[in-house]
Every structure is written in structure tokens, then in C-alpha cells.
Structure 1
Amino acid sequence: MARSNANISRRDVMKYGGAAGVGTVIAGCIGGESPDDDAEGEFVYLTTQQPSSIDPARSLDELEGIYNSNVYDPLLRYDDQFPPELTAGVAEDWDLDDDGRTYTFELQDDLEFHNGDPVTADDVAFSIERVMSIREGPSWMWEGLLTEDSATVVDETTVEVELEETFAPFTATMPWLFIVNEDQVLEHEDGGDLGGDWLEDNSAGSGPFELAEYQRGESITLERNDDWWGEFPDGGFAEVTIDIGLEVSTKMGMMRNHDGHLTDRWLAYPNYMELDEADGVSLSETETYNTYYIYMNMLTEPLDDVHVRRAISYAFDYETAMSILGTEDSLNGPLPDAMEHATTDGVHQYEHDLDAAEAELEQSDYDIEDIEVTYVSQPDISANQDIGLMMEDEFSQIGITVNLEDAPWTRIVEMASDPETSPQMFPLWGLIEYDDPDAFLWSMWHSSSVGTYLNGSNYEDDEIDALLQEGRRTIDTDERADIYAEIQQIIAEDAPTLFVANDVTRFGVNSDVSGFADNGIMGYTHQFHNYSQE
């Protein structure tokens, strides 16, 4: 398919300034066709990220979720309000049996995959079997809950799913169960890979868009599926181009010159302020579940001492950090305030208090002059770097030395995969895949997550493990609230991380685009079928 001038190649990057950083671009030095002059109705999304996989059973990161939720229909979808609610996907209705473990999903009639095959209960059962067989991507949500044999086809439009044990937020995770065409996938199976290699270059979904072209390291092109069961707005886009791996200055230049319609969330605060002043660009600013933490690796000295961690928690200048991030919304514990069951009751609050920090150090087993920590952050995200400099200055006032190191995010993830090599301290924006406190607390604080970047503190506590398990198994809302309150209290006392802020999520949006909404769920903030051009 011919591609419009709105999509760029790596050869064109230098036209937009090349270097990363705040990325000021000189007006008038580049040209481009305005999106509203695009005869094909192409929407252009600009992102720093690159997918590690586009197979829905192997992919989980934000960009991968954006791709999958637009190309595939999940069993259930999230709508675009905040907090989000579940709406129809492949299934239009569901019921939970009295045993608390058996779900019956009624599918929509007459749904079709992109190739014209009908979507049936067999495809749903196969999609569950496939993801639990591959055991990558979103399968972590259902570990110990689903097996390859958990789904039973009742009839063509009814499927029964029996869990190994009660899991209260099960339906909240169903937007990550993307339904693939069983016949099409198995037709391209190679060596028992369940079609995995083929799906890295092709799609087998029924969603509002279909994969047209994937140029690794450059772009993903999607074509609208006009036979999709849902609705497109008047003025909707016929094609979507996702330009990937872009530098900051490239994104800034493309937005200023109307060669892009939407940025990702990974620009620095000053970049967004620049875009807000640019002609034809507006700013989306929403407080959702965008938490900002700084982990402390509890398996390394001196962070194995709770008094050192508490001292750091008191020495940290939260107001300055929030100013750097561009938010006034503090994070008062492990959960953001807007999340169900979040509480401050009995949850210890750390504030910038150097006297309290020194008092904690006096209780430590370490000599103050020997306390030294290393903070690792991405050089391409200036907020992380600036917060590191602030810590270096503040902590020195109580005798703690902070060493600053740079590493790309891929390297930080690799380091965190082994508790022995995991950074002593590193920052993380806590994006979530489903709307439930379990999405934050299990992945970040359950011992099964030790050795992953999600549990960057390598936190391991038998009491917390038991409470998290109880929270999953409890259906009653009030009982769950009590369980999660106790969890938040214990974690705050242990001070395994700096609870810095509930950051404002920002996106630069072309002013001619309508329909964009941030619902706080990773991968579901970008529903291209809702967008139109005025």
C-alpha cells in the first residue's frame, strides 16, 4: 500500500533535529503535509517505544497492548472513561457460577475475522489454550488460575471457563485475552510454535484494524476493518501509522509541522509545555493510575536495613520531585488514590524531614559514613535524571552518597531479572493492565515477582503473599477492602520503595483530532477506532 508523507524513515530523522532531550525544533526548517490534507485519512501515532513481539500471546508492554487492542477483539473491552468499565468484546454477556470459579461467556453472533471466517467459541477456547501453553505475555495474570484445558465449548456462541481457584478480578483481566483465528493460526504453525513466527508479521484477529505492513524499527501500518461489528465515527481514519523508536526531537518536529496526530506519554514535562504552545497542537492532561515509584533493592547493602530505607524515604524531597514531573498529586502509599480500596488509614506517610531521616540512620546497623547507594535511570528521560540529581544533593545532607548511573530501559530490565545484578535504586512509572488493586499489588509485591523489574525492590514477605492471595480469592467488596488496607499498611512500614507521585499523564494531540481519551489502562488509552478528524 502506498504510504503518505506523514510517515518518515530513519533517513528523514535529521530533518527534525536528531538529538534527544527537550528537543526544541526551529520553526520553518522542515515541511510536511498537514494530516487534514491527507486524502487517505491516515492517523499517525508517534512513539519512542518498539514492540518486542506483536503476537498477542507473547506481548504485554504498552505499545504491544495498543497494537493488540486495535487489531484483535478481546473477550471483553474497556471503555474510554475513567475509571473504565467493561463492555462487550467477542463476548456480550457473562455469568459467574455459585462456586465462584466457573464463568460462562455468551458470544456475539455473526462476528467475523479479518479473513471472513466466523468467530466462534472454538476460537475463544483455542486462544486460552494457546496463551497458557506459550506462557509468555499476559499469561502471568492467570498463572495458577488457568490451564490449557480450562475452557470448554458449550455451543458455537457459548464458552465455559473454569478457574483452578477463585480470582476476584478475573473479568477485569479479560481485555488482555485477545481472540485469534484458530484455523488461520494453525495453518501457519511451524515446528509446534502455534503460529508464533507467522504472527510476528501477520495478524489473525477480528478487531477494528488489520495489520497492513510492519517495518521493524520504523513503523507499523494498520488498515481499517470496515466489516468490524463496532462503530466508527464520522470522519474516522482509514489507516493508522505507528512510527516507532523515534527520538524526542523527531516527535516534537512532527507534531509542530502537523506530520503527526498523537505523541506517546514519554516526553519530558518541558516538551509537553512546548507542544501546548505550538500552533495546531493541544495537550491531554489526565490524573489516572500513572504512579511514579523509585525502587530500593532490599537484597543489597545497605538497603537491606529498614532504617536506611526509611531514612531515604524521609530525606527524599517529594515536592521538588513532583515539580519536576509536573504534578501536584502525591502518592500516599502503594496504590493511587483513585484506585478501588486505596486508603491512607494507618498507612505511614513519609514527608521530607531530614531530622527524621537522621534519627532512622542512628538506628541502623551501618555507619553513616559507609552508606552509599547507586541510582540507575534512563538518559533519554530527563525527569528521571533530574530527580537523581536532586537525590544526590538532598541525601548528602545526612551523609548518604548517591552515585548516578545511566542505562537504557532494556538494560535496566535485564539487570532487574537477577536480584544479584538488579540496580540498587531505579524509577518506574507503574502502568497497569487491568482495573483492580491486584494489578498493582501482586506484580509489584508478591514474592513470585522477585527477579523482575516490576518488583524492583525484590520484596518478599510471607504475610504479604498470604494477604495478596486472600485478596484474590475474596469476592465480597468490604472484605477485600480490609485485606488491601492491611497490605498497604505493612508495605509502607517496610519502606521498600519511594512512593513519589501519582503523575499526570500527558499526550500531545493534533487539534484537528477528536475522540482521544485516557482511561488509565495500559494499551487501552489508544483506541484508534474512536478517533476522527474535524
Structure 2
Amino acid sequence: MKKYFVFFLVLTFVLSLSVIGMAKTPKNILVVGDRIDAVSLDPAVAYEFSSVNTCMNAYDTLIIYKAGDFSTPYPGIAESWEVSPDGLTWTFHLKKGVRFASGNELTAEDVVYSFKRAMAINKGPAWILQENVKDIKAVDKYTVAITIKQPSAYFISTLYNPVAAVVDSKVVKAHEKDGDWGEGWLTDHSAGSGPFIIKSWERNVGITLVKNPNYWGPAPKVDKVLIRDIKEANTQKMMLEKGDLDMSFGLTNEMKLDLKNNSDIEMVKGVNLRIGYLGMNILKKPLDNVKVRQAIRNAIDYDGIVNKLAKGIGIRMEGVIIKGLLGYRPSLGIYGYNPEKAKQLMKEAGYEDGFEITLTTSSGSSSMGLILEDLGALIQSNLAAIGIKVKLQFLAGSAYLQLYRNKKTELNIGVWGADYPDPHNFVQPFGRTGGSLAKRLSYSNPALDKIIDKAAVELDPISRVKLYDEAQKILC
């Protein structure tokens, strides 16, 4: 049975605000406001927004992507690479002279150790390597060969996730306890070759990074970064205005626009890898009726969400592949805001008089820059216009996730942040049987599974785009 998701906000463009004129903070220290959700700062375990951001500044990966361009991988600590004719062996040639913060030289043995360590620890992001990597070995001091399980169109992009970051094997081994691969120590320390070193992490207070004196690339422009754990958006805004913060990651879109005319503050725009979505659990009646789901997706004022609630900071999309990735389509021509069509679909479904249903999400502001209570109210109003009475349920984040992950929600608002910059990491979670989001909404479509699997191994970009067009028209 086909299930429809409604995707109403695909990108939030404003990622940070930087004070550039009257900051009271020392010029050699960058003070950042964030809502720290980290569980561990070990790159083999980091799986939250703030932990991933921190690891990206303390460690290096074989490949990198340039800001705003997720279509082409560039050399990281690997200066070049090639793929065998059968597509199974990827050989990476490391840059010589790269040193860890300890002063130890980064070699192929460190890369091998790091990958094997992450897969052995087997937490959070480990699956990103496990689903592809069959074997990894050091060919020589500066050459690494990775054998994957089958040809893959997206494998190279997975190497940008911190789980594929390279750790200083000598330092980590020196801090191992009871065979833990040094995980306990790396939770709040670092052993990387990135521009910064993790000096400390005081829970509920903040994370301190200091400049790596042995960094092989361009020297950081500041000596220290203080990432302060500030949960309230209003507090972050006031601290920005006073000059007590240099940058903020936790403001609502309304706050961002309010600060736009402040000459002391610069709004830095950038594409992120997050999408907001309205999910429908097809195990919950009447969502098992395809026409009801079609009615809901045609009843929502998407432009109103983007322009009024998101203050124009974002893009409304019909599909799941974001701008900047292969297969992105501004419009699929599938649906839009059409209340009359929605009413007709409700009538055809046998629910002309409507029904009651619960919409569940977390409370407060989201990483989309929206106040979720406002978003819920708008959806509630839109659906009331076609006879659907929506009960809104706002929960603490942990309580909401528990319900959602256990398939207990009917309608839900969620945010998906990609693990790596490839369309597979959007289409697969939402559409593949067993995908991390599909399973929470009881969705399975064998025909779609075949398309997604074929696209994952299709190496010709043009053919791959055609497969994703087909997949998104089924999924959305």
C-alpha cells in the first residue's frame, strides 16, 4: 500500500548570525551560542547536530565538500583516489606531512585503525561504514585500499561523516580502558588533525576548543572557540545584541529578521542538510485510506508556512531531495495547496463529515527556525477547513521521539538531518522498507524498494536522476 508524506519545508538557509561590530568578546576568541544536544564528542559515536559540528572542527576526513556544493567531493587528507574497474576497490593516496595535534604523523595505519574502531564500537553512526565497507587495509604508509560490498554511487559521500574521521591511533590506544577503544576518554577529549583541539566539555555549560598548533592547513583565525550551551532562543538573541556572543545557532527565523537591520550583526546564509516533514502513520485509521492522505497533502498552505511562519527563510518542496544534490527538483508537479480538491478527496474517501486525529511533535522552536506550536496551529486550521479536527500534542523532545519511534503517532512533525550529502540518504530513510523514518510510519513498498536499490548502485548520473524522479513521484 502506498503511503504519502507531506514535505512542507525543505531547507532552512540561515544557519548563523555573526556579530561583526561591537562584540565585547576578545578578538582571538569566538563565542558561539548553541543548544548542545551532544551525547559524545568521539567521532565514532557522534550523531547529534552539535557533536557532529564539533568533530568536524577537530578531525579530518579523506574527502571534503565545499560550502554550498554537495555535488563534488574534494581532497581532504587524501590528495587523490581512484576506483577499480569493477567498482569495488577504492584506493586513497594520503597527503604527506599531515600531523595530529600530538605531533604524530598521520599515516595509512591510522586510517585503517579509525575505520575498524568505529565499526567495532558499533554505535550511532557505525552503520554508515558497515553497510558498505567489506575490508580496509594499508597498501603502504600513505596509501589505503577500501573494498566495498557492492558497487555504490554514494559510498564516497559517506566518507564525509565524522564516523569516517581519522584519529591518532597511538594516542587513542594509550587511553584505552578495558577494551573500550578509548571511547571513554574521547567522549570529551580529541585526538585529531583538525584545526582545533577539544580542550573541555562541561555538561550544560559548554564546549571549549583551542587552536591546534600542529594543524597542517591554513591556521585558524582565532585561538579559542567557546560553544556555550544556551537553550533559550531569547537569551541567545539578547547576548548577540549585547556583544556577549559572536555567533548563534539557536534563533527563530522571526528573530533573525528582527536582527537583519542591526548594523552590528551580519546574517550569514548557507544551505543545510535538514528537511522538515509531516508524517502520516498508515497503521492508524483513517490514514490507511490513500485518498485521505491525498486530501491532507492538498489541504496544507505550504506557501503560508514558508512566507508567514518561516519568514521566507526556506524552500517549499514536494520531494525529499534537497537543493544542491543530484536529483533535486524545485517541483514535481504532484500536489499543492488546493482546499477544494482536498474536500473532494475526503468525499471520495467516505469522510465528507471529517474525523478527529492527533498531531504530535516536540514543543518550542525547531532547527527549521519555526515555533512548532505556531506550525501545529496553522496545520490544525488548514485541516479544519476540510472537516478534519486536529488535536495538538506538544511534548518534550525525548517523550515525542519515544512515541514516534514506537509507531504510536498518527500525524507528526519531524526534522530529518542527513548523515551524508547524497540523495540516497534522503530517499532511503523515507522510502525504503526498514528505512529509519519509513519504519516509524509503517511504510513498505516493494516496487519503490527496487528503484531505490537500483539508484544506489547506478553510476551514471543521468540514469540515476531518472530513477530518483520515479522514486519521488511514488513516495511523495
Same fold (TM over 0.5): yes
1:193-272 mapped onto 2 (5 Å cutoff): 193-232=180-219, 236-264=221-249, 266-272=250-256
Distance 1:113 1:186 in 2: 14
Match of 1:400 in 2: 388
1:4-153 mapped onto 2 (5 Å cutoff): 35=23, 38=26, 41-83=28-70, 85-147=72-134, 150-153=135-138
- Is 1:426 the counterpart of 2:412? The answer is yes
- Is 1:156 the counterpart of 2:144? The answer is no
CA displacement at 1:366 relative to structure 2:
5.4
Shift of the 349–49 alpha-carbon distance from structure 1 to 2, 3 Å rule, reads farther
Distance 1:363 1:477 in 2: 40
Q: Secondary structure at 2:227's aligned position in 1?
A: strand
1:95–1:105: 8 Å Cα contact kept in structure 2?
yes
What one-letter code is carried by the residue in structure 1 that aligns with 2:290?
V
1:71–1:206: 8 Å Cα contact kept in structure 2?
yes
Q: Structure 1, residues 44-82: CA drift from partner, whole Å, max 9, x if none? A: 111123211111111122211111110111121222243
Match of 1:351 in 2: 336
2:93–2:143: 8 Å Cα contact kept in structure 1?
yes
- Say which of 298, 320, 331 aligns to 1:314: 298
1:35–1:261: 8 Å Cα contact kept in structure 2?
yes
What one-letter code is carried by the residue in structure 2 that aligns with 1:88?
P
Distance 2:362 2:392 in 1: 8
Distance 1:455 1:386 in 2: 28
TM, length-normalised to structure 1: 0.79
Match of 1:472 in 2: 456
- Is 1:339 the counterpart of 2:332? The answer is no
1:289–1:339: 8 Å Cα contact kept in structure 2?
no
CA displacement at 1:287 relative to structure 2:
5.3
Q: Secondary structure at 2:259's aligned position in 1?
A: helix
CA displacement at 1:355 relative to structure 2:
1.8
Shift of the 46–458 alpha-carbon distance from structure 1 to 2, 3 Å rule, reads farther
Match of 1:378 in 2: 363
- Is 1:165 the counterpart of 2:150? The answer is yes
Q: Structure 1, residues 135-185: CA drift from partner, whole Å, max 9, x if none? A: 2232232343124xx101111111100001111111112111111112222
1:302–1:371: 8 Å Cα contact kept in structure 2?
no
Matched length:
449
Q: Secondary structure at 2:215's aligned position in 1?
A: coil
Shift of the 144–287 alpha-carbon distance from structure 1 to 2, 3 Å rule, reads closer
Distance 1:87 1:34 in 2: 36
CA displacement at 1:84 relative to structure 2:
5.9
Distance 1:339 1:74 in 2: 20
Distance 1:288 1:216 in 2: 26
1:452-467 mapped onto 2 (5 Å cutoff): 452=437, 456-467=440-451
2:343–2:352: 8 Å Cα contact kept in structure 1?
no
1:341–1:485: 8 Å Cα contact kept in structure 2?
yes
2:71–2:324: 8 Å Cα contact kept in structure 1?
no
2:41–2:51: 8 Å Cα contact kept in structure 1?
yes
Please identify, of 87-96 and 329-338, the stretch whose mean Cα deviation from structure 2 is larger.
329-338
Q: Secondary structure at 1:109's aligned position in 2?
A: coil
- Say which of 390, 403, 423 aligns to 1:415: 403
What one-letter code is carried by the residue in structure 2 that aligns with 1:205?
G
What one-letter code is carried by the residue in structure 2 that aligns with 1:395?
L
1:107–1:157: 8 Å Cα contact kept in structure 2?
yes
TM, length-normalised to structure 2: 0.88
Q: What is the percent sequence identity of the aligned residues?
A: 25
Q: Secondary structure at 1:447's aligned position in 2?
A: coil
Distance 1:83 1:77 in 2: 9
Match of 2:422 in 1: 436
What one-letter code is carried by the residue in structure 1 that aligns with 2:470?
E
CA displacement at 1:432 relative to structure 2:
2.4
Q: Structure 1, residues 385-407: CA drift from partner, whole Å, max 9, x if none? A: 21211122221122111111111
CA displacement at 1:261 relative to structure 2:
1.1
CA displacement at 1:338 relative to structure 2:
4.0
- Gap runs ≥5 in structure 2: 1-20
Coordinate RMSD, CA, aligned: 2.3
2:94–2:143: 8 Å Cα contact kept in structure 1?
yes
1:305–1:365: 8 Å Cα contact kept in structure 2?
no
What one-letter code is carried by the residue in structure 2 that aligns with 1:394?
N
1:378–1:384: 8 Å Cα contact kept in structure 2?
yes
CA displacement at 1:35 relative to structure 2:
4.2
What one-letter code is carried by the residue in structure 1 that aligns with 2:79?
E
- Say which of 294, 297, 306 aligns to 2:278: 294
1:485-504 mapped onto 2 (5 Å cutoff): 485-492=469-476
1:308–1:364: 8 Å Cα contact kept in structure 2?
yes
